[in-house]
Amino acid sequence: MKTNHPDVAEILISAEELDARVQALGAEISSVYQDKSPLLLSVLKGSVVFMADLMRTLTIPHAIDFMAVSSYGAATESSGVVRILKDLDTPIEGKDVLIVEDIIDSGHTLSYLRGLLLARNPASLRIVTLLSKPSRREVDVPVDWVGFDIPDKFVIGYGLDYDELYRDLPYIGVLKAHVYG
């Protein structure tokens, strides 16, 4: 098991806590989509670890697909500018789509994505995010499931990166300020 990383100031959510919450989310999501077969849409790259764990807790049949949108790069502040880098492989018209996100910060990314996907006429569109920073919200986005509300701190691990690193940490940790300062 990987232990505390030297660049991590504090472990915010342990691997055990993540596992328990993902199991609970999976049970809720499975019951809402009973008799349906949703398409899980992972927003690359941060949500891949969450998606991989979440899908294995689901008791309903489901497909997966991926989309990539522009993110912060090496910076830690949202620009509010969103660009599609990779689109879905298949049309979503008439499908039950579940967006799987790693974290909602300002809300700009998800707000833009939601509008774009709704224009393609899915049967339904829901959102699950592992993390949310409510104090940072600039745009209101209707989110169906939130794993954890967290304070306004830059976090890494369990898929989340800083400058493409730390995604492999099995917990959610707070990055030491000197790393990006």
- Where does this chain bind Mg ion (CB under 5 A)? 43, 46, 102
Kind and range of the H or E run holding 141? none
Cα separation, 8 vs 35, in Å, equals 43
Terminal alpha carbon distance of the chain: 29
Strand 155-156 relative to strand 96-104: parallel, antiparallel, unpaired?
A: unpaired
Residue closer to Mg ion (CB basis): 6 or 73: 73
158 to 78, 89, 121: CA distances (angstroms): 20, 25, 32
Nearer to ligand IMP (CB atom), residue 33 or residue 107: 107
Among 45, 3, 2, 9, smallest CA distance to 179 is for 9
Q: Which does 154 bind (CB under 5 to 8 A by kind): ligand IMP, Mg ion, none?
A: ligand IMP
User: By CB under 6 A, what part of segment 50-79 binds ligand IMP?
Assistant: 71-72, 78
- Closest of 150, 164, 169 to residue 72, by C-alpha: 164
Residue 77-116 contact track with ligand IMP, rule CB under 6 A, x = bound: -x----------------------xxxxxxxxxx------
Among this protein's residues, is 105 annotated catalytic?
yes
Enumerate residues 3-42 that contact ligand IMP by CB under 6 A.
none
- Provide the minimum distance between the beta carbon of 71 and Mg ion in the complex, in angstroms, as a whole number: 6
The residue ranges that bind ligand IMP (CB under 6 A) are 46, 71-72, 78, 101-110, 154-156, 160
Which residues are known to be catalytic? 105
